Amino acid sequence: MKQNDLILQTVTKVAAFVILLFAVAIFLGGHYSPGGGFVGGLMTSAAIVLLLLAFDIKTVTGILPIDYKLMIGSGLLISSLTVAGGLVFGVPLMTHVYHYVDLPLLGHISLHTAVLFDLGVYLVVVGVTMTIIQTIGESE
Amino acid sequence: MSLLHWAVLSPFLLAIIVPILYKLFRQIHTGWFVLILPILLFTYFSRFISLTKQGDIIMESATWIPSLGIHVDFYIDGLGLLFALLITGIGSLVVLYSIFYLSKEKEKLNQFYVFLLLFMGAMLGVVLSDNLIVLYSFWEFTSLSSFLLIGYWNERERSRYGAQKSLLITVLGGLSLLGGIILLSIMGNTFSIRELIAQSGELMDHSLFIPALLLVLLGAFTKSAQFPFHIWLPDAMEAPTPVSAYLHSATMVKAGIYLVARLSPVFAESGLWFWLVSIAGLITLFWGSFSAIKQTDLKGVLAFSTISQLGLIMSLLGLGAAALHYDSFGENIYLAATVAAVFHLINHATFKGSLFMVAGIIDHETGTRDIRKLGGLMQVMPITFTVAVIGAFSMAGLPPFNGFLSKEMFLASMVNVLELNIFNMETWGVLFPVVAWVASVFTFIYSMIVVLKPFTGKLQLQLLDKRPHEAPVGMLISPIILASLVIVFGIFPNLLSSRIIEPAVASIQPSVAGPDFQVHIAFWHGFNPEVWMTVGIIAFGILLYKTLPKWQKITRWIPERISLNALYDNGVRGLDRSASSVMKFLMTGYIRTYLLSIFLFFILSLGFTLYWKDAFKLDTGNFARIGLYELILAAIIVIGSIAILFARSRLTSIIILGAVGYTISLFFVLLRAPDLALTQLVIETISVSLFLLCFFHLPLMASRKEERMTFKLNNALISIGVGVIVTLIALSAHSNKLFDSISNYYLENAYKEAGGKNVVNVILVDFRGLDTMFEITVLSIAALGIFAMIKLRLTGRKDKS
């Protein structure tokens, strides 16, 4: 009997976007409200896992042609460059700077190097969870 | 670095060159190259005789580790010179003898001479060092080189056994000597023997004096094969005979004697020293001579006779210590004991060296050393026989050989003990001459065995491997020289007295032997008790030797099972076995056992510390109020944790574990930690699904056979113990807050300094961002590890199939 996942797949198409948006919101809002790179990353991978459940690995890799191991590496690179960045300006490691700017549409907002660091965390977390799940999923 | 330093070092330097010479000149026996050195050294050292005769001392120093007060100080006084002459003199003769004894075709001569030279250098270092640490270094070097020499024929099992045994015993003593040296240096604040002697009076009252004395004596007794540490010496007879002659009769076994003599000025004031040294010496003397009779191996007899003679010298040194207490006579009779010790030391080196060489010749020419097979060699080996007679009669203490004189002096000293009235000697002192006399009778008997069994009687050719004939001339030179020395010293003993013995005694007893001290050894000194004792010894000795077959069984009254050797063997084996059984008991290979020991250690160490430091404290003042929600959540966690223990199926356990995890995230909500709650929720979900994955992949056999965890009392006790300990520590730590938390700083500065309002996140990425940096590294490693494990396992399988 051929299985029909129409409802699941349709709901997924909507829900995955909602989850992804929520993840991005949690990630960006981390400095002011609960959240941050870690939870944001986990949420993002939850969205991808939902896709994996509704479709299959091949389809999902078609949609998101990402090498997650590369993602881990780039995340680590971004974080460590942010950490080391202070050295260029002659300040101790891990010194963050921030500045408030007024942007059109977004309004009064702060640009903070800590977000860059958090981005590295985010990428690593997504990469790690997806690598683990994909590897286990592909294994026999 | 003076000439004296180079003299001591020269054997080591030659040892480096010997293998090269061996390779370059294969047709010349390597021993000839080696022979030059001890002869040169002997002549070099004999130049000092005239100096030490006047009481002068030669002192040369070189720095080694100045910051620790360790200098390579060599000094020559009477005692050191006597030993140096023995080492180089007998060393030359032994090298000469070994040239003919060891074949240059069959033997690894390079190894032999390297070991022998190392030994010679080490021995010179021992007797000439003033610094105790240097002395100890050379001391261990003698143990090591002796180990190599005993195991020279390392393809033989007995050689390896003997070498190991001697190493274990002498190194045991060596290490205890090191302990004694360290204690001495703590007491006297110096490593120099001469400085220690100078302050010997103050050392006596120090609390470490007795331990230092015992440790030093243990070192000396093991090296000199005193009872009960003598057991290594008979087994060391597996060495080539030149080695036995050199190490185990003339030099190494006298290192302990040297040490006792050398440190006598430091320790001899103490009654303990007097008792230990003389009693140990007498027991060894008696036991060695008694055991020698039952031996059937010629070298075995000689080994036990060496033990016995070393005991004799040791007991004389012990009696000599009485000289410090008792000099009311015009002529100090106890000083005579020291003189006798030194004289007998020389005599023993000469006659025992020659006897070992004789044994080697017999072995070499007949192929056996078993005295039951040997007999009637007198006719075929007349020269060897003559040497043997001289050596053995000297050993037995017969006139006109030197052994007679020293034996007379020994008996005289033993008789003089009766007049001693210190250390309760008046009660037990009478045993001294009795034991000495009985031991001398045994000495007479085994001396007769050595000379009469192989040489007289019937020649049994069918028992021998070779047809015996007289040894080559080269092999006979050394024993003949030694035997003639036996006679020369016997007839003209005063050749030695002023040149060698006086300076040596002066360095053993510096406080008693004044400048006008003179030794005169008279060949005949009237009808003293000792003369009658000697007559008795000879009479009884002959009587007992004649009836030997009738009573020889008595010497075997101790069965082999409980002998000292068996004790040693069982000790070594038992140590081995108990170590291995302890390892088997502890190292089971089960992780469960290791965890039990880890947790047990955890409980015991922390519990003991809590108790010992009286650290438990309960201060309910700063506890927060417990609300209804906390109670409910705590109850869920407690029930869940207990339920896991009793869960029947694994699936239940996993689900309950998930429930506990979610409850914890509720706790985070309750305790106002939204970030933690979020993370905990997601992570718990992921880990529960990973658990489910593992569960799903369990082998069918295991998943079907689901049953409750079995109850084990010690597991339960240990887990309860860990829980209790951790709870107690947590409570005490909470009640012991010594200073305020630093969290206020973060709360105040999170927005001002870091531009963020989520303090947790600001701490994570800004204040303490490096931790986060490495935590994401940990995650990456974990992910790559999982990837690698799964992928590599797959390729591995492919390769196999």
Question: Per-residue DSSP letters for B568-625?
Answer: HHHHHHHHHHHHHHHHHHH--S-HHHHHHHHHHHHHHHHHHHHHHTT-----GGGPPP
Residue B116, amino acid: L
Distance from the Cα of residue A42 to its chain's centroid:
7
In this complex, is the C-beta atom of B749 within 8 Å of any C-beta atom belonging to chain A? no
**DSSP states along B622-683:** GPPPP-HHHHHHHHHHHHHHHHHHH-SSHHHHHHHHHHHHHHHHHHHHHTT-HHHHHHHHHH
B675 Cα to chain A: minimum distance (Å): 5
| Residue ranges in chain A whose pLDDT is less than 70 | 1-2, 140
Query: Of B770, B780, B787, which is closest to A94 when you measure between CB atoms?
Result: B770
Residue B342, amino acid: V
Determine contact, residues B695/B572, Cβ cutoff 8 Å: no
Both structure tokens of B178: 């090191």
Q: Which long-range contacts (CB under 8 A, 24 or more apart) does B182-191 make?
A: B183/B208, B183/B211, B183/B212, B183/B215, B184/B132, B184/B212, B184/B216, B184/B266, B185/B69, B185/B132, B187/B212, B190/B69, B191/B69, B191/B70, B191/B131, B191/B132, B191/B133
- Tell me the whole-structure pTM to 2 decimals: 0.80
Output the pLDDT for position B456. Answer: 83
* Tokens 């070594």 found at: B572
* Cβ density class B166-176: b for 16+ within 10 Å, e for less: bbbbbbebbbb
Output the pLDDT for position B646. Answer: 86
- Interchain proximity B765–A120, CB inside 8 Å: no
Determine contact, residues A57/A66, Cβ cutoff 8 Å: no
Query: Of A33, A96, A128, which is closest to B758 when you measure between CB atoms?
Result: A33
In this complex, is the C-beta atom of B790 within 8 Å of any C-beta atom belonging to chain A? yes
- Report cis status (omega within 30 of 0) of the bond before B515: no
Mean pLDDT by 10 residues, chain B (801 residues): 86 91 86 90 89 82 86 88 91 91 83 91 92 92 92 90 92 94 89 86 83 92 89 88 85 90 86 87 90 86 91 89 64 76 89 90 84 81 88 86 84 76 62 86 89 81 72 86 89 80 81 65 66 85 84 68 80 92 89 91 92 81 84 93 87 91 93 89 86 76 66 89 92 81 85 82 86 91 89 60 43
B70 strand-pairing partners: B65
C-alpha distances in Å from residue B575, one per residue of B572, B578, B580, B715: 5, 5, 8, 32
Chain B residues in contact with A128 by the CB 8 A cut-off are 779-780, 782-783
Q: How many CB atoms lie within 10 A of CB B238?
A: 22
C-alpha distances in Å from residue A16, one per residue of A36, A37, B160, B251, B507: 19, 19, 79, 93, 100
Determine contact, residues A79/A114, Cβ cutoff 8 Å: no
DSSP state of A2: -
Both structure tokens of B427: 């009660």
Both structure tokens of B232: 């290594």
Contacts of B397 (CB under 8 A, 6+ apart): B403, B404, B406, B407, B408, B440, B443, B444, B534, B537
Query: Of A46, A69, A80, which is closest to B773 when you measure between CB atoms?
Result: A80
ipTM score of complex: 0.91
Chain A residues in contact with B758 by the CB 8 A cut-off are 30-36
Chain B residues in contact with A70 by the CB 8 A cut-off are none
Contacts of B188 (CB under 8 A, 6+ apart): B195, B196, B199, B203
In this complex, is the C-beta atom of B574 within 8 Å of any C-beta atom belonging to chain A? no
User: How far is Cα B42 from Cα B351, in angstroms, rounded to an integer?
Assistant: 19
Both structure tokens of B537: 């010894």
User: How far is Cα B46 from Cα B37, in angstroms, rounded to an integer?
Assistant: 14
Chain B residues in contact with A19 by the CB 8 A cut-off are none
Angle between helices B109-128 and B78-101 (to 10 degrees): 170
A74 Cα to chain B: minimum distance (Å): 11
- Interchain proximity B761–A128, CB inside 8 Å: no
Output the pLDDT for position B801. Answer: 43
User: How far is Cα B165 from Cα B660, in angstroms, rounded to an integer?
Assistant: 64
B689 Cα to chain A: minimum distance (Å): 10
In this complex, is the C-beta atom of B547 within 8 Å of any C-beta atom belonging to chain A? no
A102 Cα to chain B: minimum distance (Å): 16
Q: B129 φ, ψ to 5°?
A: -75, 140
Chain A residue at shortest CA distance from B683: A42
- Interchain proximity B791–A117, CB inside 8 Å: no
In this complex, is the C-beta atom of B16 within 8 Å of any C-beta atom belonging to chain A? no
Output the pLDDT for position B423. Answer: 55
From the number of C-beta atoms within 10 Å of its C-beta (0-12, 13-18, 19+), residue B300 rates as buried
> Which of B779, B789, B798 is the best substitution to test chain A (most A C-beta atoms within 10 A)?
B779
User: How far is Cα A24 from Cα A28, in angstroms, rounded to an integer?
Assistant: 6
Chain A residues in contact with B757 by the CB 8 A cut-off are 31-33
Both structure tokens of B421: 């009235």
Instruction: Report CA Rg, chain A.
Output: 18
